[in-house]
Amino acid sequence: MNIKQAVDLQALKNGNTTPISEKRLTRIQVARRVFKLAAAAGHPYKNISAEDWAKKWLPSEEFVLMSIETTRAARPCMPKNENLVLKNISAASNEEPIVVDTNKQRVGRSPIGYVPEVIVIDGKHRHMAAQMKGDVHITAWVGVKALAKVEPKSHKMAAAAKKMIKQSKIEVAAAMSQVLRQDTEVKNSANHMPMPGVKGNKVYAGPGIIKKMDVEEAQAGADFQEPSDENNDPSDQAPGAGGGKRLAPSKGASRSELSQRM
- For residue 27, the model assigns a pLDDT of 97
In the chain, helix, strand, coil percent, each to 5?
A: 45, 15, 40
70 neighbors 131 (Cβ within 8 angstroms)? yes
Alpha helices, DSSP H only, in the chain? 3-14, 27-40, 50-57, 82-90, 124-133, 147-150, 153-191, 215-223, 255-261
Q: Compute the distance between CA of residue 230 and CA of residue 251 in angstroms, rounded to an integer.
A: 30
Q: What is the pLDDT of residues 105-114, one digit of tens each?
A: 999 999 999 9
Q: What is the distance between the alpha carbons of residues 162 and 122, in angstroms, rounded to a whole number? A: 35
pLDDT value at 157 more than 80: no
Would you list the domain boundaries of the chain? 3-151
Q: What are phi and psi of 139, to 5 degrees?
A: -80, 135
Model confidence over 172-219: pLDDT tens digits? 777 777 777 777 776 666 665 555 555 555 555 555 444 545 555 555
Query: Using CA of residue 55, residue 125, residue 100, residue 6, what is the dihedral sign?
Result: negative
Query: What is the C-alpha to C-alpha distance for residues 79 and 218, in angstroms, rounded to an integer?
Result: 104
Query: What pLDDT score was predicted for residue 19?
Result: 47
| Burial of 118 per CB tally in 10 Å (0-12, 13-18, 19+) | buried
Q: Is 228 exposed, middle or buried (0-12, 13-18, 19+ CB in 10 A)?
A: exposed
Q: What is the pTM of this model?
A: 0.53
Q: What DSSP line would sit under 98-113, residue for residue?
A: EEEEE-TT-----TT-
Residues 92 and 220: their CA atoms lie apart, in Å, by: 107
